Structure 1
Amino acid sequence: MTVPYTDNGADDRRSLHERIAADLRDEIMSGDLAPESKLPSTNQLKERFEASNATIQKALQLLKEEGLVIGRAGAAVTVREHRQRTMRPASYMAPAPPGEPYRWLTEATKHGAAAHSTLLKVSEVRPPADVSAALNLAADETALLRQQILAIDDEPVELVDSYYPLGIARGTAITAKRKIKGGTPALLSELGYPPRLSVDRVSARVPTQEQFQALRLPSDLPVLRTLRVVHSDGDLPIEVTVMVKAGHLYEMQYEFTPE
């Protein structure tokens, strides 16, 4: 069924140009508008969406700010190279081999990208309620937070907050404000807490102020928030990580074997 693109529709309260941008964004992300292909002309878009030239230009400007298309007024607008990255958590959850970088960095490099991480803070904090519950902490208990930003080709792609029980973190390199060679999975294994099971909870949310600024988001598009709980032997929670990435640029891929 075709939904009319009127400004007085009761079902969709977004402005008309936001609704038009949403439909074009979906076609770009699904591949219906392929990378390096030209978008329909302004006249074609005006006819399709029953909108004015100014409204179409405002919709295209949103997509330009998001980095999905390139072009200028009066010229053809082109879809950028495939911007949506597929994240495969299973490929970088295991500890890195001795002497090797954190798996996230090596996996990103495999796809021809220059990846790096920046450690933002290491501090003892009171975690969010869902993190506290996952770590089996009391409401007023604190945990050790390591926050970092992950970037690909100098574009911030993921804000990562990792929390550790103080009983595990104290007196170890986890508390130091420096990068851990091989990442914390390798260090936890060395400390006698090998990761045995990881459980992800993925949700879409409106970005917080911190997330909006850290990821340099162009608008209030949703972010993908992954709450990952890592268990060691005896189902002991040893790490809870909150990972946030731009929802319009990333998708998650999980693989399952039927039992």
Structure 2
Amino acid sequence: MSMPVTDTDTSDRRSLHERIAADLRDEIMSGDLAPGARLPSTAQLKARFDASNATIQKALQILKDERLVVGRAGAGVTVREHRQQTVRPAAFMAPADAGQPYRWLSEASKHGNLAHSTLLEVAEVRPPADVCAALGLSDGETAVLRHQVLSIDGEPVEVVKSYYPFALARGTAIADRRKIRGGTPALLAELGFPPRLSVDRVSARVPTQEQYQALNLPSDLPVLRTLRVVYTDDRRPVEATVMVKAGHLYELRYEFAPD
């Protein structure tokens, strides 16, 4: 049971309704309040947090805006059935089987979700510094950018910017503004650059203006930013992708087996 939160608590400078929302958000994300579960009544929350009715309603509105809970007439406020998704990065590395869609789409569909990718841009650009370093690009070297937004059940969930050394991508379907059946892992394998190793660097950040708008975020809650570098034979980097998703809606799952 959480300790009551009061307005005189000087250890947390957030407003009371933000602190209440934070506690409830943690319980939702940890599973203490499971998908479909009904939240405590307003009276129970008022007593627990020593807060007014208006403050409780403001806290609940934050969670509604974050798409973590829904309010139904006669049913109170309940946790959304799909309030958080678990992503297994290792599942996306291997090329898709012949004739099959990009693995991200097929993996999302396994959970009964309608997954969709929207290709926004394909262009020759100078990547961000960390991407240049990951790809080993020298000063002035460019890369081909493939920029897309991934959606589940009509809601944007991830902004994806993939970069490929221009010398590798030039004259291939990577540089064309169209979707690649099976995704770029399958195409890279066809081009003689099969993915052999994938290295992720994950950080939590405040969303940029572009990310905030693209993901339709309700506030400046942290986003998860993953820089994934894909290597082919001889540890040659052939792809660097920056993936950004809402931190309160997604978690990453990594599995490691002892040697």
In structure 2, what is the Cα distance between the partners aligned to 1:35 and 1:190?
A: 42
- 2:202 paired residue number: 202
Amino acid at match of 2:35: P
Amino acid at match of 2:37: S
Is structure 2 residue 99 aligned with structure 1 residue 99?
Answer: yes
Q: Tell me the SS of whatever aligns to 1:29.
A: helix
Q: For the Cα contact (< 8 Å) 1:129–1:139, is it kept in 2?
A: no
User: Superposed, which structure 2 residues align to 1:70-89 within 5 Å?
Assistant: 70-71=70-71, 76-89=76-89
Change beyond 3 A, Cα 1:127–1:236: same
How many correspondences in the alignment?
259
Q: Tell me the SS of whatever aligns to 1:71.
A: strand
Q: Tell me the SS of whatever aligns to 2:76.
A: coil
Q: CA RMSD in A?
A: 1.7
In structure 1, what is the Cα distance between the partners aligned to 2:72 and 2:81?
A: 17
In structure 2, what is the Cα distance between the partners aligned to 1:125 and 1:162?
A: 11
Q: For the Cα contact (< 8 Å) 1:64–1:70, is it kept in 2?
A: yes
Q: Tell me the SS of whatever aligns to 2:10.
A: coil
Q: For the Cα contact (< 8 Å) 1:119–1:179, is it kept in 2?
A: yes
In structure 1, what is the Cα distance between the partners aligned to 2:66 and 2:116?
A: 22
Amino acid at match of 2:29: M
Change beyond 3 A, Cα 1:15–1:72: farther
Amino acid at match of 1:237: P
In structure 2, what is the Cα distance between the partners aligned to 1:155 and 1:124?
A: 28
In structure 2, what is the Cα distance between the partners aligned to 1:164 and 1:8?
A: 53
> When the two structures are superposed, what TM-score results if normalisation uses the length of structure 2?
0.95
Change beyond 3 A, Cα 1:73–1:19: farther
- 1:256 paired residue number: 256
In structure 2, what is the Cα distance between the partners aligned to 1:188 and 1:71?
A: 46
Q: Which runs of 5+ in 2 are unaligned?
A: none
Is structure 2 residue 175 aligned with structure 1 residue 175?
Answer: yes
Amino acid at match of 2:81: E
Q: For the Cα contact (< 8 Å) 2:119–2:147, is it kept in 1?
A: yes
In structure 2, what is the Cα distance between the partners aligned to 1:171 and 1:49?
A: 62
Q: Deviations over 1:33-78 (max 9, x none)?
A: 1222221111211111111111111000001111111226997222
